[in-house]
Amino acid sequence: MKARLDILQVCLLRLFSIFLLAGCDTSVGSTQPEYISGIDVSSYQEQINWTQVYGGGVRFAYIKATESDTLTDPQFMANWSGSDKSGVIRGAYHFFTQGVSGAAQAAYFLSVIRATDAGDRGALPPALDVEGLSGAELKEAKAEIAVWLKTVEAALNCTPVIYTSPDTWDEEFPGDFTNYGLWLADYTSETQLPTGWTSWLFWQYSDSGTVDGIATPVSLDRFSGRELDLRLTTCVGW
C-alpha cells in the first residue's frame, strides 16, 4: 500500500512540475516576454482573408466601426464576421471627432455594434481612438471624450480602452482618464507611457507591418498577457 502511495506522490509531483513549466518561459537566452499578436484594421486594408490572418499567428484584432456620429467603416461588418469565423478575437473602435457631441458619437457607435452578435459571442473592450485634435478646443474635447467613455461604459457594462500616443496625450490631456485601459501607440522598442498610466493593455508597436491575408501595410499590436488573459478581457451581454 505504501509503495502505491509513493508512486502516486511521484506522479503528482511530476504533473505539478509540468504545470509550472508550462506557465514559464524556458527558452534559452530569452529576455523578452511573450505577447499575443494582434492587428488593427479599417477599410484602408480593403478585403481581408481572415483565415490566412489567423494562420499567420494573429490572435486578436481591433476593427474600426465608426467615426463621428454618422460614419460607419465600409468594411466593418465584413471584418467583424470574418475575424470571428477564423478564430481571431475581435474588438471594435470608434475614431473620436472633435467638435461633435460625445453623446451623439457614443449613441451612433452603440447603434452600430449592437447590430452585431458581440453581445452573444463576447468582444474585446470597446476602444476610443483619440488623436490629431486641435489645441484650440481641447477643453471642450476633453468633456466630450468623458461623455463618450461614460456613456459606452454604462450601456455595455464594460470599461472602454483609450488608444493614444505618449506625445499626443501628454500635450493634450496629461494625467486624464488614466482609470481606463491604455491601448498605446508607440513605435519604439522601449515603450514610453503617457503621464499617469503605469502600464499598457494593448500596444500598437508598428503602423506598417505585413500580415498574411492582407495586401496593404497594417498596424501591428501586442496584448500584455497570454491568450487566456486575452479571452478574460472580453465583454459579454451587450
> Residue 119 has what pLDDT?
59
Higher pLDDT, 214 or 236: 214
Rounded Cα distance between 170 and 168, Å, is 6
User: Among 25, 131, 137, 167, which one carries the catalytic annotation?
Assistant: 131
233 within 8 A of 59, measured Cβ to Cβ: no
pLDDT at residue 15 is higher than 50: no
At 226 the pLDDT is: 92
pLDDT category at 33 given cuts 50, 70, 90 is low
Determine contact, residues 72/113, Cβ cutoff 8 Å: no
Reported as a pLDDT band with limits 50, 70 and 90, residue 182 is very high
* Own/partner pairs, 152-160, CB within 8 angstroms, 24+ separation: 152/106, 152/109, 152/110, 152/126, 152/128, 155/106, 155/110, 156/110, 156/126, 156/235, 156/238, 157/235, 157/237, 158/125, 158/126, 158/235, 158/238, 159/125, 160/125, 160/126, 160/127, 160/128
In the prediction, which pLDDT does 145 show?
97
Evaluate if residue 23 carries a pLDDT over 80. Answer: no
pTM of the model: 0.85
Structure confidence at residue 138 (pLDDT): 87
Confidence band, pLDDT 50/70/90 cuts, at residue 236 = confident
Phi, psi of 171 (to 5 degrees): -80, -30
Quick one: CA dihedral 140, 146, 152, 154, positive or negative? negative
Higher-scoring residue by pLDDT: 216, 2: 216
Q: Express each pLDDT in 97-149 by its tens digit.
A: 999 999 999 999 999 999 987 656 789 999 999 998 877 778 899 999 999 99
C-alpha cell at 100: 461633435
Report whether 202 contacts 221 (CB < 8 A). yes
pLDDT band at 90 (very low <50, low <70, confident <90, very high): very high
pLDDT at 141: 94
Domain 34-232, what fold?
A: TIM Barrel (3.20.20)
Q: What is the pLDDT of residues 186-197, one digit of tens each?
A: 999 889 999 999
* Banded model confidence at residue 58, pLDDT cuts 50, 70, 90: very high
Indicate whether 10 pLDDT > 50. Answer: no
Give alpha helix (H) positions in 95-238: 102-113, 118-121, 138-156, 166-172, 227-232
pLDDT reported for residue 118:
67
Identify the bridge partners of residue 40 per DSSP, sorted by sequence position: 62, 219
* Annotation marks residue 46 as catalytic: no
172 is catalytic: no
What is the average pLDDT value for the chain, to the nearest integer?
86
At residue 27 the predicted structure's pLDDT band, cuts being 50, 70 and 90, is: very low
